[in-house]
Amino acid sequence: MSDKTAKDIENEVSDWWKTSIIDMEPGKIHYGGYAIQDLIGNISFPGMIWLMTRGELPSKGQAALLEAALVAAVDHGPQAPSIAIARMAATCGVGLNNAMASAVNVLGDVHGGAGEQAVALYHDIVARMDGGQNLVDATAAGLDHQIAEHGKHIPGFGHRFHPLDPRAPRLLSLVEKAAADGIVSGRFGQIASQIEETLLTRKGKRIPMNIDGATAVIYAELGFAAPLARGLFCLSRSVGILAHAWEQTNQGGRNKGPIPRRLIWNYDGPERRPVPSDLNGD
């Protein structure tokens, strides 16, 4: 027989889930201590994302910068695997939530994950600067380390489609303005620009910052941990994913594959051959 008292059991039950995010009782909902009815109509959606992931409310300037990053990464058309998958899923007879989940599930290290890697790289360079190295040397050492550990492609730089990703310079200009207004330090923007310079010197050609490199600057400036950069990209891209899944649903189409049906893939397996007649023999 258990020696547990009713109080022990009550404590065990109430400790089962612990969260500092939400507090509730009948008729009352508080996020991080703030009543939901006071938040509704008073804070923006980015402000809410900040409160939920950071536990505090952002300043107006911080929320505006976060919003800019979220707006910038919303969509990149059906060339992006996540968007194509959302559209294909929408033709399979599934609901919008299934189409969205299928699409979000392919956001990983290679597609959508460069922002997380870029934040980690920027943090590594900051740590070197805090250790006494100047910007140029810390960047060079950070890049050497990145290449040794993860290969020659520096996350957040280069693009397969855009010679200059139009999203990056605009975001960087907002970071510069926020730094001038004292909202952020501007340190991560300087690091990302120095990475571009170092790559130019090393490769003899410009490998410009892309959307992930630029949003990573914002997430790092705003103090988001590297893994949250991936989560925030997922939130942002989910808007594009939803829009494409909904558009495709309305366009119709059944079982739409990744290429038109008249096209076929390249087969490079064995020649056509008969199944051996003695398969079950010794």
Ligand X SMILES: CC(C)(COP(=O)(O)OP(=O)(O)OC[C@H]1O[C@@H](n2cnc3c(N)ncnc32)[C@H](O)[C@@H]1OP(=O)(O)O)[C@@H](O)C(=O)NCCC(=O)NCCSC(=O)C[C@@](O)(CC(=O)O)C(=O)O
Contact status: 214 vs ligand X (CB under 6 A): no
C-beta closer to ligand X: residue 28 or 203: 203
From 11, 52, 108, 161, residue interacting with ligand X (rule: CB under 6 A): 161
Query: Residue 38 and residue 30: Cα distance in Å, rounded?
Result: 9
Sign of CA dihedral 205, 107, 102, 95: negative
* Region binding ligand X by CB under 6 A among candidate stretches 42-50, 133-141, 158-166, 256-264: 158-166
Contact status: 71 vs ligand X (CB under 6 A): no
Residues 126-155 that bind ligand X (CB under 6 A): 152-155
> What's the closest the beta carbon of residue 212 comes to ligand X, in angstroms?
5
C-beta closer to ligand X: residue 96 or 106: 106
> What's the closest the beta carbon of residue 202 comes to ligand X, in angstroms?
8
> What's the closest the beta carbon of residue 175 comes to ligand X, in angstroms?
18
> What's the closest the beta carbon of residue 221 comes to ligand X, in angstroms?
18
Contact status: 157 vs ligand X (CB under 6 A): yes
Query: Residue 152 and residue 163: Cα distance in Å, rounded?
Result: 19
Contact status: 207 vs ligand X (CB under 6 A): yes
Contacting residues for 282 by C-beta, under 8 A, at least 6 apart: none
C-beta closer to ligand X: residue 2 or 79: 79
Q: What is the dihedral of CA 155, 156, 158, 159, to 10 degrees?
A: 110
Residues 73-112 that bind ligand X (CB under 6 A): 76, 79-80, 111
C-beta closer to ligand X: residue 47 or 142: 142
Contact status: 212 vs ligand X (CB under 6 A): yes
> What residue type is assigned to position 37 of the chain?
Q
From 47, 58, 142, 158, residue interacting with ligand X (rule: CB under 6 A): 158
> What's the closest the beta carbon of residue 101 comes to ligand X, in angstroms?
18
> What residue type is assigned to position 219 of the chain?
Y
Q: What is the DSSP string of 215-256?
A: HHHHHHHTT--HHHHHHHHHHHHHHHHHHHHHHHHHH--SS-
C-beta closer to ligand X: residue 36 or 200: 200
Contact status: 160 vs ligand X (CB under 6 A): yes
Provide the binding-site residues for ligand X, judged by CB under 6 A: 76, 79-80, 111, 114, 152-161, 199, 203, 207, 210-212
